[in-house]
Structure 1
Amino acid sequence: MRPEGSILADELHTLPVPPPPPAPPAAAATVTPGPLSQRTAVAASTTDNRSAQRRALANQEADRIEDLKASVHAELLKELGPHLYDADMDQSELDQRVRTVLAEVLSAQDRPLSNSDRARVTQEISDDILGYGPIDPYLRDPEVSEVMVNGHNDVWLEKSGRLTKAEAHFADEAHLRRTIDKIVSRIGRRVDESSPMVDARLPDGSRVNAIVPPLSIDGSALTIRKFATDPLTVADLITFGSLSPATADFLEACVRGRLNVIVSGGTGAGKTTTLNVLSSFIPSDERIVTIEDAAELQLNQDHVVRLESRPANIEGKGAVTIRDLVKNSLRMRPDRIVVGEVRDASALDMLQAMNTGHDGSICTLHSNGPRDTLARMETMVLMAGMDLPIRAIREQVASAVDLIVHQSRFKDGSRRITHITEVERMEGEVITLQDVFVFDNSAGFDENGRVLGRLRSTGLRPKFVEKLAYNNVAVDPALFRLDRA
């Protein structure tokens, strides 16, 4: 017989085992993450990996396209050679030839290209060969007024007076330098370490400035101020609010009446545009000589002679300055002399021209206001090296200059004429000035920051009205009626 204790132990083994008690809530909160959290983490990791793979593939594709562009570009240069810079070849013929050879070279490539990639490569290489590389689309865009390249990887634009960063860049510094060389070589100028600064122009008259290392520390800098294919007219300036219809009539009378006019203002204030508009008032039966650093003026008269200064050659010789051209223009029987900008000793020769029978001359000058314009003119006359007393210079200025048209650029990007000022006469040691029209900004700005002011008459009648009458130009006295807000 088995002991009683053994029988009890066997019975206990056959009894069902009760389930474990449920875990308390606090314990449930501290358990390790369940399967759902693990799947979420794995999915997020997979998404990150796929994004990284897509970025890597995109970078590989971009590198492949860049390599393809470089090889096609090299093949194109081999095929066309010196034809690209043949001055006798018509531009349309060169364009057709480049596109034909480009299509042949792309077809011969052993790397497959999608239609979109082929179109992109064709456009970018065409821009590079025939135009100015990555900035070419912006030069074609009528809304862009200025293109600024601050090194090969930093391009900025001016649109409606505001600066915006462009989504474009040059491949490297060498690519940017090739573009600069292409621009300046077409007008017989150069830029290198021995001559690291240059002013030039594009075929359409757009102004170009380039400065390269070692003067430009972070890479070459290129600035292009575009000029519209159709130059702005006086009607455009009235529409933009730069001047009023009354002031436009008054300025037209001043130009036709052969007054000597200085257009002043700061950098980018629109002086050259205003000079172009004022020059359009010159009668078509007069001989006009224009003198500029880089030819920008676009006059529609029949009898216009355009002169352009020239920098020194690589030996430091052969420079022809604005002053030299002003002196030479006096022997060319001009009715009007129009100088793009007076910035040095040429001011003395300009004053002498205005005082020796060449009435109706017009020029521009950098300054901050009408009074400052006269001070700058005095300073530039002293740069001529003549030991002239200040009073003699001021008498020359008071005798030569009749009118100052001062222009400013406001914070909202608009460019407005702010002063139309008569230069009267000497009183003691001071030249007296009289404002005829002044910009009234008492209206302030609107909710978008746009200036609301406008030019208003001061109610003063200028003394040179008699001179205008002598030249058979009548001015309506109502123009000078006091204009109240």
Structure 2
Amino acid sequence: MEAAPAPRQETRPPAARRDELTTSREGIAAALSQIRGPFMERIDPAAAVKLPRPDLAMEVGRMLPDLLRELGLQLNGAEQRDVVTQLVNDMLGLGPLDPLLDDPLITDILVNGPNQVYVERHGKLELTDVVFRDGKHLLAIAQRIVNRVGRRVDESSPMCDARLEDGSRVNVIVPPLAIDGASISIRKFAEKKITLEVMARQSNLSDAMMRVLQIASRARLNILISGGTGSGKTTLLNALSRMIDTGERVVTIEDAAELQLQQPHVVRLETRPPNLEGKGEVTMRGLVKNALRMRPDRIILGEVRGGEALDMLQAMNTGHDGSMCTLHANNPREALTRLENMVGMSGANLPPKAVRTQIVAAIDMIVQVSRMRDGVRRITSVTEVVGMEGEIITTQELFRYRYEGEGADGKLIGRFESAGLRPAFTDKAGYYGLERPLLDAVI
């Protein structure tokens, strides 16, 4: 008797599997559109949001089969779990954005209206299949984000900076300024603490640059971090701050708090927008002035954007060595020019030479960071502010990144070069017993 042939396993091409996934997503979306109305009629939203997420998910899961029978819908077990998750996300979370926030590979989430959501993975932007029901759904999520931190966004106040509960930074802009629907930009909070050592292993900088920056922070140099949007300025600022002694009192000032200092004695300050009557605004400049009365050892400014630049320079010149800040600029020379222009925004009528003299006295080092076209963020220059010749600020570059080509994998090929110069802060490093390690790193 011949053995029965083994059942043939059906193999489906990847395209067929993708079609099935798409059909499943469309079925879930269609089911949700029918379920939401009857579901919201049966549940008390005010009581639901007070429940722990697992308890609410269990309650929604118990209600769902009855709803499906009444509406004549058929969903398998996996689809029902997806429906439960999305209903809970709509009530407690950020709806369609929750799966993206849970993905550890995603660093940025960019929402351009209800039908277009991009994410950044490995330094590259890619379009997702995430969509919102409509513009009202997206606006409700945007308002939920800002309301949690006591801010608002509407037609009268259509722009807002905020943060999520995990520390992720958020910018929201809504109609009428955003023509195609609300726009949400989320810079995700990095759970993994980035250090200079980690950055060196990732080839964001060389070992020699790492040692020089560690010494610069320990020797209490005033450091300006310059770079474009998304270049890694805040990440580098966090890494440098790990060199601060635990016995120092540090005051941080930001528009939306995102710094992750590890020291025990840190005072975190955050700006506040005006209320509905246009009153109660607390600006970055006001916080810098107040910080000077708080007996700080160091002041760390998340980003310099305007007239607070003058107050920051004065703080650096009055005993607050080791302070740090960031600003947007494409190279160190441009950073100095922008800093000078922002001092002018303070309303102080100072001659250019007087402003530049203050900059030279306050800023010791400029670290330039760039997100390059292969998606990798690199420190492209470490430059010292040396002095003045006439009315011109003089600098010397200790390190630079030199581009040499592109590999087969699309990654840029280059090297971090040392200029071989004796740093101007050698004597200051010597005061902290770090002169020999500094010279070994650069020469």
- TM-score over 0.5 for the alignment? yes
How far apart in 2 are the matches of 1:389 and 1:73? 67
Measure how far apart 1:301 and its partner are: 1.0
**Contact kept in structure 1, 2:28 and 2:83, CA below 8 Å:** no
How far apart in 1 are the matches of 2:26 and 2:343? 62
1:196 aligns with 2:158: yes
How far apart in 2 are the matches of 1:348 and 1:73? 56
**Contact kept in structure 2, 1:259 and 1:402, CA below 8 Å:** yes
Letter in 2 for 1:464: F
How far apart in 2 are the matches of 1:327 and 1:292? 14
1:412 aligns with 2:412: no
The counterpart of 2:116, out of the listed 129, 154, 164, is: 154
Q: Per the alignment, do residues 63 and 179 of structure 1 end up closer, same or farther by CA in structure 2, a change over 3 Å counting?
A: closer
1:208 aligns with 2:170: yes
Measure how far apart 1:58 and its partner are: 8.1
- DSSP 3-state at the match of 2:79: helix
1:186 aligns with 2:151: no
How far apart in 2 are the matches of 1:72 and 1:117? 18
1:473 aligns with 2:434: yes
1:235 aligns with 2:193: no
How far apart in 1 are the matches of 2:384 and 2:38? 62
Q: Percent identity?
A: 48
1:79 aligns with 2:37: no
The counterpart of 2:87, out of the listed 119, 122, 125, is: 125
Give the equivalent residue in structure 2 for 1:453: 414
**Contact kept in structure 2, 1:265 and 1:369, CA below 8 Å:** yes
How far apart in 1 are the matches of 2:231 and 2:25? 43
How far apart in 2 are the matches of 1:466 and 1:248? 19
How far apart in 1 are the matches of 2:338 and 2:411? 31
**Contact kept in structure 1, 2:303 and 2:326, CA below 8 Å:** yes
Q: Per the alignment, do residues 346 and 82 of structure 1 end up closer, same or farther by CA in structure 2, a change over 3 Å counting?
A: farther
Q: Per the alignment, do residues 427 and 178 of structure 1 end up closer, same or farther by CA in structure 2, a change over 3 Å counting?
A: same
How far apart in 2 are the matches of 1:168 and 1:472? 55
Give the equivalent residue in structure 2 for 1:70: 36
Give the equivalent residue in structure 1 for 2:3: none
Letter in 2 for 1:184: V
Deviation per residue, 1:249-307 (Å, 9 max, x gap): 11111111111000001111110000000011111111111111111011111111111
Deviation per residue, 1:102-135 (Å, 9 max, x gap): 1232143124543122112012112222221112
How far apart in 1 are the matches of 2:182 and 2:98? 17
Measure how far apart 1:81 and its partner are: 1.3
Instruction: Give unpaired runs (5+ residues) of structure 2.
Output: 1-19
Give the equivalent residue in structure 2 for 1:164: 126
Q: Per the alignment, do residues 453 and 64 of structure 1 end up closer, same or farther by CA in structure 2, a change over 3 Å counting?
A: closer
**Contact kept in structure 1, 2:199 and 2:205, CA below 8 Å:** yes
Greater Rg by CA: 1
Give the equivalent residue in structure 1 for 2:286: 324
Letter in 2 for 1:179: I
**Contact kept in structure 2, 1:72 and 1:106, CA below 8 Å:** no
Measure how far apart 1:66 and its partner are: 2.5
How far apart in 2 are the matches of 1:242 and 1:321? 33
Deviation per residue, 1:353-388 (Å, 9 max, x gap): 000000000000110100001100000000001110
How far apart in 2 are the matches of 1:355 and 1:446? 46
Q: Per the alignment, do residues 156 and 432 of structure 1 end up closer, same or farther by CA in structure 2, a change over 3 Å counting?
A: same
The counterpart of 1:398, out of the listed 360, 375, 380, is: 360
Give the equivalent residue in structure 1 for 2:58: 100
Give the equivalent residue in structure 1 for 2:77: 115
Letter in 1 for 2:424: K
- DSSP 3-state at the match of 1:251: helix
Deviation per residue, 1:306-338 (Å, 9 max, x gap): 111111111111111111111111111111111
Q: Per the alignment, do residues 113 and 440 of structure 1 end up closer, same or farther by CA in structure 2, a change over 3 Å counting?
A: closer
Letter in 2 for 1:338: I
RMSD: 1.8
**Contact kept in structure 2, 1:436 and 1:458, CA below 8 Å:** yes
Give the equivalent residue in structure 2 for 1:269: 231
How far apart in 1 are the matches of 2:191 and 2:245? 23
Give the equivalent residue in structure 1 for 2:346: 384
Measure how far apart 1:82 and its partner are: 5.2
- DSSP 3-state at the match of 1:459: coil
Measure how far apart 1:190 and its partner are: 0.5
Q: Per the alignment, do residues 468 and 99 of structure 1 end up closer, same or farther by CA in structure 2, a change over 3 Å counting?
A: same
How far apart in 2 are the matches of 1:286 and 1:274? 20
Q: Per the alignment, do residues 305 and 114 of structure 1 end up closer, same or farther by CA in structure 2, a change over 3 Å counting?
A: same
**Contact kept in structure 2, 1:72 and 1:105, CA below 8 Å:** no
Measure how far apart 1:60 and its partner are: 9.1
> Pairwise mapping of residues 277-288 of structure 1 onto structure 2 (< 5 A)?
277-288=239-250
Letter in 2 for 1:436: L
- DSSP 3-state at the match of 2:355: helix
- DSSP 3-state at the match of 1:444: strand
1:359 aligns with 2:317: no
Letter in 1 for 2:357: E
Give the equivalent residue in structure 1 for 2:221: 259
Instruction: Give unpaired runs (5+ residues) of structure 1.
Output: 1-53, 87-92
**Contact kept in structure 1, 2:224 and 2:325, CA below 8 Å:** yes
**Contact kept in structure 1, 2:28 and 2:79, CA below 8 Å:** no
Give the equivalent residue in structure 1 for 2:397: 435
Measure how far apart 1:445 and its partner are: 1.3
How far apart in 1 are the matches of 2:394 and 2:433? 26
Measure how far apart 1:68 and its partner are: 3.5
How far apart in 2 are the matches of 1:348 and 1:147? 34
**Contact kept in structure 1, 2:169 and 2:188, CA below 8 Å:** yes
TM value normalised by structure 2:
0.90
4+ long deviations beyond 6 Å: 57-60
- DSSP 3-state at the match of 2:269: strand
For this pair of structures, how many residues does the alignment match?
A: 417
**Contact kept in structure 1, 2:384 and 2:397, CA below 8 Å:** yes
